[in-house]
Amino acid sequence: MYIVVGGTGHVGSAVAQTLLDEGEAVTVVTRNSEKAGAWRQRGAEVAVADVHDVTSLREVFRSGKRAFLLNPNADISSDTDREERETVRCLLEAIEGSGLDKVVAESTMGAQPGEECGDLNILYELEVGLRNQPIPASVVRAAYYYSNWDTMVGPVTKDGVLSTMLPADLTLPMVAPEDLGRVAARLLQEPIEKIGIHPVEGPKRYSPNDVAAAFAAALGRAVRVDVIPRENWEDAYRSLGFSDAAAHSYARMTALTADGPEYPEDPIRGSISLQTYIGKLVRDSS
């Protein structure tokens, strides 16, 4: 039995579906009981549990042998760094004494030690925690999710404007959640001794200009890029409902991405192009 935390999100659902398609037994962990029925229809078992309930989560892990761990995003109106650090602590505590023989965790490219840089710090701490415990662990370091552009489909369709904090011509690794899910599922199925860090990105690297072009092709209309100045980033995040602490952390994380960290030269490459992903996104939203 494979246990998939965050099975109703973009990546977790791809992990679970890939395993099910290969005939594996899967338990999807979700805190949303309304989504349980759909997964049961697909052949999965469902465990309704909050990741902060360590005792309940450990019991779920004890029903399987391998688990996919994902640190879900905290409510943006909260102190996201503080909340997500607590989630990491709970995940690490829950696998302790669980009997699992291998775990695979979702992290991010650019993960690094530090404070007030969102996922870059929090997921690095998850990686360190996994290295310091006895269960063999593989880590997927994901490129920038294509799904980060999902919220732009409405404004782009309406106004033909793609707003971003990233430089319009900045080329960076991006990836489809489905490709991440397929890689994570394969790592879960590999022999116990096959562990380590695995960077994953799409078939090529893209810029916001490429994203605008993909939307333009899918919509059949011109799309221009509107770059938000760096000095306005925290205000922009706050206008979206982020707390002051979250806005500060996300702006710092965005700055590290915009300033171009070193990316791996030989990543695992997925097959889904940005154009394919955006095309489907536009069709599904119409």
- pLDDT tops 90 at residue 8: no
Q: Is residue 122 part of a domain?
A: yes
User: What is the C-alpha to C-alpha distance for residues 223 and 215, in angstroms, rounded to an integer?
Assistant: 7
In a domain, 46, yes or no: yes
49, 56 contact by CB (below 8 A): yes
The model carries a pTM of: 0.94
Q: Give the dihedral of Cα atoms 225, 171, 240, 218; nearest 10 deg.
A: 50
Distance between CA 282 and CA 162 in Å, rounded? 14
The reply to whether 164 falls in a domain is no
Q: What is the SS3 assignment for 137?
A: strand
Would you say the C-alpha torsion 155, 159, 160, 165 has a positive or negative sign? negative
Identify which has the larger pLDDT, 34 or 199.
Answer: 199
pLDDT recorded at residue 70: 93
Q: Residue 162 — φ and ψ, nearest 5°?
A: -105, 110
Other Cβ atoms closer than 10 A to 51: 21
Number of domains in the chain: 1
Phi/psi of residue 282, nearest 5 degrees? -65, -45
Residue 277 lies in a domain: no
Q: What local confidence, expressed as pLDDT, does residue 1 receive?
A: 93
Q: What percent of the chain has pLDDT over 70?
A: 100
Q: Is residue 232 part of a domain?
A: no
Tell me, yes or no, whether 94 lies in a domain. yes
Cα separation of 99 and 106, whole Å? 20
pLDDT of residue 52: 93
What would the DSSP string read from start to end of 200-259? EE-SS-B-HHHHHHHHHHHHTS--EEEEPPGGGHHHHHHHTT--HHHHHHHHHHHHHHHT
Specify the pLDDT at position 66: 97
Reference 8, options 25, 22, 26; nearest CA is 26
According to the model, what pLDDT value does residue 36 have? 78
When the pLDDT of each residue in the chain is averaged and rounded to a whole number, the result is 95
Poorest-pLDDT segment among 2-11, 97-106, 122-131: 2-11
In a 3-state reduction of DSSP, which class is residue 91?
helix
Say what angle helices 10-21 and 177-189 make with each other, to 10 degrees.
50
Is residue 282 predicted with pLDDT exceeding 80? yes
pLDDT at 33 over 80: no
**Does the pLDDT of residue 53 top 90, yes or no?**
yes
What pLDDT, on the 0 to 100 scale, is given for residue 222?
96
17 confidence band (pLDDT: 50, 70, 90): very high
Structure tokens given for 79: 């102190």
Model confidence over 217-238: pLDDT tens digits?
Answer: 999 999 999 999 999 999 999 9
Share of the chain above pLDDT 90, in %: 90
Q: What is the DSSP letter of 196?
A: E
Query: Could you read off the pLDDT of 71-93 as tens digits, one per residue?
Result: 989 999 999 999 999 999 999 99
Q: How many CA atoms lie within 13 A of 205 on its CB side?
A: 12
Instruction: Residue 73: give its domain's CATH number.
Output: 3.40.50.720
Q: For residue range 173-187, what is the model confidence (pLDDT) as tens digits?
A: 999 999 999 999 999
Identify whether 123 is part of a domain. yes
Look up residue 30 and give its two tokens.
Answer: 């979700």
Determine, yes or no, domain membership for 98: yes
Q: Give me the pLDDT at residue 90, please.
A: 97
| Sequence letter at residue 184 | A
- Domain span including residue 40: 2-144+176-202
Residue-level pLDDT at 81: 96
| Single-letter amino acid code for the residue at 76 | I
